[in-house]
Structures are given as structure tokens and as C-alpha cells.
Amino acid sequence: MARLIYILNGPNLNLLGQREPEVYGHTTLADVEQACAALGAELVLKLRFLQSNHEGQIVDWVQEARGTAAGIIINPAALTHTSVAILDALNAFDGPVIELHISQVHKREAFRHHSYVSQRADAVMAGFGTHGYELALRQMAHLLV
Ligand code: CA2
């Protein structure tokens, strides 16, 4: 049976491909979702691909993933740098967690260099562009073998 993977996206990622293409590229979040869906089928993984601008909603989805999902890929966006609540929720999840950033956050402003989520993440990716989502999915499949 296909295992379920949550792919969670934080605030403003709904604007992907519409603003700041020099930082985040031209690909939209819908394009990313489509590419993940195709790869998920190949890897025999079922996906729940979600985006919210609200911290509590992301906490709710992480809690929902407990007991139902095998793994979580998360781009918490700006909440990466502020949210103890998301860290706490992830700490209550048992499976692998991959933290993903489209941009290379360590080359950017100092406030983007610290991540609360990294305290829990089993792997952290930054700077692979939107292609990082597919790479993360492949790594998730590898971790679940
Ligand atoms: O590089 C990433 O993926 C980030 O998680 C993106 C966040 C940023 O706060 C993190 O430091 C790094 C920002 C997401 C906002 O995305 C936009 C996309 C297009 C236009 C405006 C915002």
C-alpha cells in the first residue's frame, strides 16, 4: 500500500512564481505540486500537498499527520525562523521530517540563518530551487525503505 507523505508549505508560498523570481524562480506552487504528484506516483507514495499562511493551520496539519503519515516534508517559510509551535508539533511526530528551503537561506540575511525546525529535522535542504521538492521526495522514499 502507498505510504502517505505530507508536504507542508508556509506563509506566502502561494505567491511562488508571481513575485521575486530572482530569489524563488518562475515556477508556481501549483507547478511544484504537479511535479511532486508525478514523482509520488513513480515512487508509490501518496501525497497531501498543502499551503497555509497561518501558523496554527500548519500545527493542525502536523498533528493530523501523526498516526496517518509516514513522513513530512516541510517548507515552513518565514515561520522557520520564529515558530516554536511548529517545532513542538513536529517533535510529537514519529516519522522522518525533511526541512526544505527553495533559496539558500545561509547566503541571505542573518535572521534567516536560524531555524527552529532544524532542531527536529532529519535532513535540511536549502538552495536547490523548486527542484528541491522532488529531491526531498526521493530522499523521503529512500528513508522509508
Ligand atoms: O527559501 C525558502 O524556501 C524560504 O523558506 C522562503 C520564505 C523565507 O521567509 C524563508 O526565509 C526561506 C519566504 C516564502 C515567501 O515566498 C514568496 C515567493 C514569491 C514571492 C514572495 C514570497
CATH code where residue 67 lies = 3.40.50.9100
Q: What is the pLDDT of residue 26?
A: 96
Q: What is the pLDDT of residue 79?
A: 99
Cα of 145 to ligand 1 centre, how many Å? 31
Q: Domain total for the chain?
A: 1
Q: Which residues, 6 or more positions from 52, have their beta carbon under 8 angstroms from its beta carbon?
A: 9, 10, 11, 58, 61
Is 142 an active-site residue?
Answer: no
The pLDDT of residue 106 is above 90? yes
Q: Which candidate in 101, 106, 133, 142 is catalytic? A: 101
Q: What is the pLDDT of residue 1?
A: 86
0.85 exceeded by pTM: yes
**CB of 48 shorter than 6 A to ligand 1:** no
Give the pLDDT confidence of 78-89 residue by residue, as tens digits. Answer: 999 999 999 999
Report how far apart, in Å, the C-alpha atoms of 54 and of each of 30, 35, 132 are: 19, 25, 23
Atom of ligand 1 nearest to the CA of 20: 20
Cα of 57 to ligand 1 centre, how many Å? 18
Backbone angles phi, psi at 95, to 5 degrees: -85, 180
> Under a CB-based contact definition with an 8 Å cutoff, are residues 78 and 55 in contact?
no
Is 101 an active-site residue?
Answer: yes
Q: What is the pLDDT of residue 119?
A: 98
Whole domain around residue 10: which residue ranges?
Answer: 3-143
Pick the residue whose CA is nearest to atom 22 on ligand 1.
12
Give the pLDDT confidence of 28-71 residue by residue, as tens digits. Answer: 999 999 999 999 999 999 999 999 999 999 999 999 999 999 99
Q: Over pLDDT 90: what percentage of the chain?
A: 98
Q: Indicate the average pLDDT of the chain.
A: 98
